[in-house]
Amino acid sequence: MRSPLALAGLILGLLPGAAHAGDSVCWVENGVLLVPAVAAGVNGVFILDTGAAQSQLDATQASEVGIGEGAAAAEVRLAGRLYPGVAMQVLELDARTRSFPTPISGVLGSDVLAGQVLTVQQNPCHLRLSRPGGSRGGRGAIRLPIELRAGVPYVRAGVSDGIRSQLGAFRIDTGGPLAVRLAPSTAAVTPRDGRLRALSIGGVLFENVSSAPTSDVADAALGGIGEPIWSRFSMRLDYAGRTLSFWNPLPARAGRGF
Give the mean model confidence (pLDDT) for residues 73-77.
95
Question: Length of the chain in residues, anyone?
Answer: 258
**Are 97 and 181 members of one domain?**
no
Q: Single out the residue in 113, 132, 167 at which a domain terminates.
A: 113
The pLDDT confidence band at residue 251, using thresholds 50, 70 and 90, is low
**Are 148 and 210 members of one domain?**
yes
Buried b (16+ CB within 10 A) or exposed e, 21-53: ebbbbbbbbebbbbbbbbbbebbbbbbbbbbbe
**Are 237 and 159 members of one domain?**
yes
Contact yes or no for 236/141 (Cβ under 8 A): yes
Q: Is the pLDDT of residue 254 over 80?
A: no
Number of domains in the chain: 2
Phi-psi region of 77 (alpha: psi -120 to 50; beta: other; left: phi over 0): beta
**Are 105 and 202 members of one domain?**
no
Contact yes or no for 139/245 (Cβ under 8 A): no
- Residue 141: CB partners within 8 Å, gap ≥ 6? 236, 245, 246, 247
Question: Is residue 256 included in any domain, yes or no?
Answer: no
The pLDDT confidence band at residue 59, using thresholds 50, 70 and 90, is very high
**Are 164 and 204 members of one domain?**
yes
Q: Which residue has the higher pLDDT, 225 or 14?
A: 225
Question: Is residue 258 included in any domain, yes or no?
Answer: no
Q: Single out the residue in 113, 128, 163 at which a domain terminates.
A: 113
Question: Is residue 105 included in any domain, yes or no?
Answer: yes
**Are 148 and 108 members of one domain?**
no
Q: Which residue has the higher pLDDT, 256 or 233?
A: 233
Report d(CA 176, CA 237) in Å as an integer: 16
Question: Is residue 129 included in any domain, yes or no?
Answer: no
Report d(CA 104, CA 44) in Å as an integer: 7
Contact yes or no for 152/171 (Cβ under 8 A): yes
For the stretch 117-174, pLDDT in tens is 999 999 899 999 999 877 677 778 999 999 999 999 999 999 999 999 999 999 999 9
Report d(CA 25, CA 194) in Å as an integer: 32
Whole-number pLDDT of residue 16: 41
Instruction: Share the mean pLDDT of the chain.
Output: 90
Question: Is residue 254 included in any domain, yes or no?
Answer: no
**Are 65 and 22 members of one domain?**
yes
Question: Is residue 118 included in any domain, yes or no?
Answer: no
Give the mean model confidence (pLDDT) for residues 41-65.
97
pTM, entire model: 0.89
For the stretch 193-228, pLDDT in tens is 999 999 999 999 999 999 999 999 999 999 999 999
Q: Is the pLDDT of residue 6 over 90?
A: no
Please measure the distance between the N-terminal and C-terminal CA atoms of the chain and give it in whole angstroms. 21
Long-range contacts of range 144-147, CB-CB < 8 Å, 24 or more positions apart? Answer: 144/201, 144/202, 144/243, 144/244, 144/245, 145/242, 145/243, 145/244, 146/172, 146/237, 146/242, 146/243, 146/244, 147/242
Q: Is the pLDDT of residue 26 over 60?
A: yes
Give me the domain span that covers residue 179. 142-247
The pLDDT confidence band at residue 13, using thresholds 50, 70 and 90, is very low
For the stretch 79-119, pLDDT in tens is 999 999 999 999 999 999 999 998 999 999 999 999 999 99
Report d(CA 169, CA 136) in Å as an integer: 22
The pLDDT confidence band at residue 248, using thresholds 50, 70 and 90, is confident
Facing residues of 48 across strands?
A: 108
CATH code at position 204? 2.40.70.10
Question: Is residue 134 included in any domain, yes or no?
Answer: no
Question: Is residue 237 included in any domain, yes or no?
Answer: yes
Contact yes or no for 121/234 (Cβ under 8 A): yes
**Are 109 and 13 members of one domain?**
yes
CA separation (Å) from 13 to 29, 32, 37, 150? Answer: 19, 21, 9, 31
**Are 181 and 98 members of one domain?**
no
Whole-number pLDDT of residue 250: 75
The pLDDT confidence band at residue 258, using thresholds 50, 70 and 90, is low
Q: Single out the residue in 113, 130, 158 at which a domain terminates.
A: 113
**Are 146 and 194 members of one domain?**
yes
Whole-number pLDDT of residue 247: 95
Main-chain phi, psi angles of 137, to 5 degrees: 130, 175
CATH code at position 74? 2.40.70
